[in-house]
A and B are shown apart, each in its own frame.
Chain A
Amino acid sequence: MIRLLKSMSFTRRRIFASGLFDVDWYKLAHPYVVRDKIDPLTHFLKHGRRLRLAPSRLFDAGRYLDDSALASRSRLNPLVHYLAYGKKLNIPIHQAPASGADRILESGLFDSNWYLRENPDVLANGYPPLLHYMVHGALEGRSPGPDFDAKWYLHRYPDIVGINPLLHYIDFGQEEGRTAVRPERVFSIARETIAGIEDLDPDLYATDYFDDIDHIDVVDGRPRTRMARAFEKLIATIDTPPKAIVFLPWLVHGGADLVAAHAIRAMSDKHGSESVVAVICDHDRLEAIHLLPKGVKHLSLLQIEPNLSHVERIELIDLIIRGLRPSTVLNVNSRSCWDAIKRYGNRLQNFTRLYAMLFCPDFSVSGRRSGYADLYLRQCLPFLAGVYFDNSSYIDQLTQQFSVPAELQSKLVTLYQPAPNVARNNTSRHGNSRLRVMWAGRLMPQKNVDLLMRIAEQTQQFEFHIWGRGSHALELQLSDLSRRIPYIHFHGPFERFEALPTSNYDVLLYTSLWDGLPNVLLEAAAAGLTIVASNVGGISELIDGSTGWLVNISDEASHYIDALSEIAMHPAEAQRRIDAMDERLAARHNWERYQRVLTQEPTVSKGFLYVSTNDYGDFKCSPGGNACQIVDS
């Protein structure tokens, strides 16, 4: 052995010494190497990089190349690279995915003793049984054990050609409901059953039912689709049937996410955190998971089954609601959930009370109105118990736009969001120092960053502090502006509003082209900032001449500059409006009022927070099918 090692090159010796090359594993993982009589290490050194081959279960070569730019750029075999450089640089290595032989062993369908008994030639040659099966047996149609009949499988499923049939069964066939052995017992009982009655019916005696018995499908009721697997996994994670389920597209740092978090918190406060489940439907993004109250369970459909299609997610949502039968369901901007309500709302309204939240119109890149209200409200409203809006202006607009009949109008509820409690520590502006203007939001067309830049460029008497992330092009423009103009500061992204140094600023400037009643205005108002905002959507319900500065001609920079100048010149008036805003927040944007509305409205079907004394009672619809009534037991 020592002589053999000495005769090897340094690279080979180093690889052997590392323990990361397992000859036996390599042969089983790549049986063609044995069949073609190639030295495994030579094969690995020659083809390992190109084919991303693992040298053992301990080293995932493909992942190493993906994770390490250094290794990827070099032309070295990944293991050679790791041993020469990666190890010293502490580049992490990971276990390789299970090889075919690993999966076969894990399946329990390979029985070495049985294989040797059934194949005396293998025993006689002293061939390791699993290696023989991988190299020769599978392709020769030999069976690996008593529980997998290779000849039957290949005969029954002629679509399986040129691959290891056992691996096909493990990887696909099992889930597809294919049978590993000829179902002798089932055939026997079926034959006996038909033999006793076939003389009674021409459909049975005119032809031989079992003429081509091996091609008769044998099925049981167990569903084996990807969606069914996802549902099974999902149910396995739930211990307590929830009273409320909130469907979300994702959970990120956005206004709608905060609104959803308020509703979840209200439900959690009232009925206990274990009674609420948040289902993340459309994207596996959970950056703002901290928004959920402690103890509230969340499930991400795409984490459970990453390849679920949109249609499968719709079906899954339908199943979740029908199976778990929560008292209430709330959809906050999940497209899959909107589609589930559109498609199955007629029956789903008998399983739960369905609610949704809407905020403002939205526009596609090409400028078409394509918000959820435009896409879904008309079809879904008859099935919904209520729709909550964060402003009343949008309700008025939609009522007019769709001629919503009076009986359905009662389902549309204005639910003013609660303002946060923020400790104020605003530093007052000194004498002639510049007015400090903050802008914070997503750098997207909706927020009209172009207007912000025009305002900032056209005036020199104010200091601008811009926070946000979004469009790369806009980020570049703002960075450039920040470099060129000393009183404009682009600070980049912020995680949440409360993390911003609001006490260093005087004014929040808000330039949106369309909106509902954005939460950032409530946060800014609660932080004691004077607000200058465009008069779009429901903003005028919060900001008016008494509580801030509302700019009516919303795309004209000079009007915003006039408002900022007025604030700079009349600090007492600005303070008066801040005080008035405080009163408005206290009266309308408080937590008690929020909970009251969410419990009592809509008046007919009650609110999202209302729970029937019969949690699993029937929800029956009025004859018109448009108003859910709660039937208490």
Chain B
Amino acid sequence: MLAKSSIASLVRSIAHAEQSGFAVEVLVILDRSETVTRQVISDHSSYQFRIVETDFGDPARARNYAISQAKGKYVAFLDADDLWGVNWLTQATLAAQSRHDAVIWHPEVCVYFGSAHHIFVHLDMEEPDFCPSGLMIENYWTALSFGAREVYLQNSYPETDLKAGFGYEDWAWNMLTISRGVKHKIVSGTGHAIRRREQSVSRDTLSVQAVPRPNPYLVAYLQSKQNRPPPISEAPLDMELADDLS
């Protein structure tokens, strides 16, 4: 029944986007979902949702499948517990249209409610105080991201395997995409509401001390550090420029 609020927020955000001139397709992936969830979704059938039932039992595979089925230029994820802010789709699309490189967009703030009561502020990779090593320890962004479908198609979510100690498909995906040159940025002035339930997958993940699946995030960061040109003050002078200066 909690999905009802999520769907309602989605409908509201779609309406806002449509008023701004954007067309939105809704694809609902019901991965091993409960009967009540299916019922709640079908109550909104008037919105012409494309509903697909799957049996992956893994959020990564469900996300990858959703991407493969989506048709739009951009993709936005909404998990069944959570709510988008009204202007999310509109502002995220505008932000995405402003860049031609590979960028994944996140809201500026996430308001945690339910069994949690705090505000999580997303970090922007292009801010000077962004700390790359910290992403090895904490996930900087929630799973409700937005970006060009092409970027998602080129970067599948790594599957989880709690028995082997691998969880957090979104965290692993964030790291993987960065290692491949994708930027993670915030859409200024936007927010989501994230429901924290007493018992959630992430708590199960915590209990087995899971970590993201192996990925080349830090290695790629170190390699990029090597390839980065030295600061201007340390860079050898171009001969022509040196002649001018002399």
Instruction: Give me the interface of A with B, judged by CB distance under 8 Å.
Output: 183, 186-187, 189-190, 192-194, 196-197, 200-201, 203-204, 209, 216-223, 225, 227-228, 231-232, 235-236, 238-241, 319, 322-325, 344, 346-347, 350-351, 616, 618
Contacts and interface: CB of A to CB of B under 8 A. Distances in A.
A221 B120 contact: yes
Nearest to B221: A235
Interface residues of B, number: 55
B123 A217 contact: no
A236 B218 CA distance: 11
B123 A222 contact: yes
B100 to A, nearest CB: 27
Contact of A618 (B8, B131, B214): B214
Nearest to B131: A222
B134 interface: yes
Contacts of B193: 193-194, 197, 201, 204
B105 interface: no
A344 B218 CA distance: 19
Contacts of A220: 120-123, 140
Interface of B: 2, 5, 8-9, 12, 83-87, 107-109, 111, 113-114, 117-123, 131-141, 164-166, 189-193, 195, 209, 211, 214, 216-219, 221-223, 225-226
Q: Considering residues A192, A346, A347, A350, which has the most beta carbons from chain B within 10 angstroms of its beta carbon?
A: A347
Q: Considering residues B86, B111, B123, which has the most beta carbons from chain A within 10 angstroms of its beta carbon?
A: B111
By secondary structure, the A interface counts as: helix
Contacts of B12: 196-197, 200
B133 A325 contact: no
Nearest to A618: B214
A241 B191 contact: no
Contacts of B166: 347, 350
B121 A186 contact: yes
Nearest to B175: A323
Given A196-B85, A228-B133, 4 more contacts: A193-B190, A223-B138, A235-B218, A241-B223
A187 B87 CA distance: 17
Contacts of B85: 192-193, 196-197
Q: Considering residues B83, B108, B221, which has the most beta carbons from chain A within 10 angstroms of its beta carbon?
A: B83
Contact of A193 (B5, B109, B209, B214): B109
Contact of A240 (B2, B211, B222): B222
B218 A346 contact: no
A228 B219 contact: no
Given A222-B131, A616-B216, A193 B111 contact: yes
Contacts of B113: 201, 203-204, 209
27 contacts: A183-B119, A186-B119, A193-B111, A196-B87, A200-B8, A200-B9, A201-B193, A201-B195, A203-B114, A216-B119, A217-B118, A218-B118, A219-B121, A221-B122, A221-B135, A222-B131, A228-B133, A236-B133, A241-B219, A323-B217, A324-B219, A346-B164, A347-B165, A347-B166, A350-B214, A351-B214, A618-B214
B55 to A, nearest CB: 24
Contacts of B191: 189-190, 192-194
Contacts of B120: 219-221
A21 B236 CA distance: 45
Contacts of B108: 186, 189
B225 A239 contact: yes
A189 B190 contact: yes
B78 to A, nearest CB: 12
Nearest to B132: A235
Contacts of A218: 118-119, 121
Given A221-B134, A351-B214, A216 B223 contact: no
Contacts of B190: 189, 193
A344 B209 CA distance: 9
Q: Considering residues A193, A222, A236, which has the most beta carbons from chain B within 10 angstroms of its beta carbon?
A: A193
A221 B111 CA distance: 14
Contacts of A322: 136, 211, 214
B118 A216 contact: yes
Contacts of B122: 220-221
Contacts of A196: 12, 85-87
A614 to B, nearest CB: 11
B119 A217 contact: yes
Contacts of A238: 222
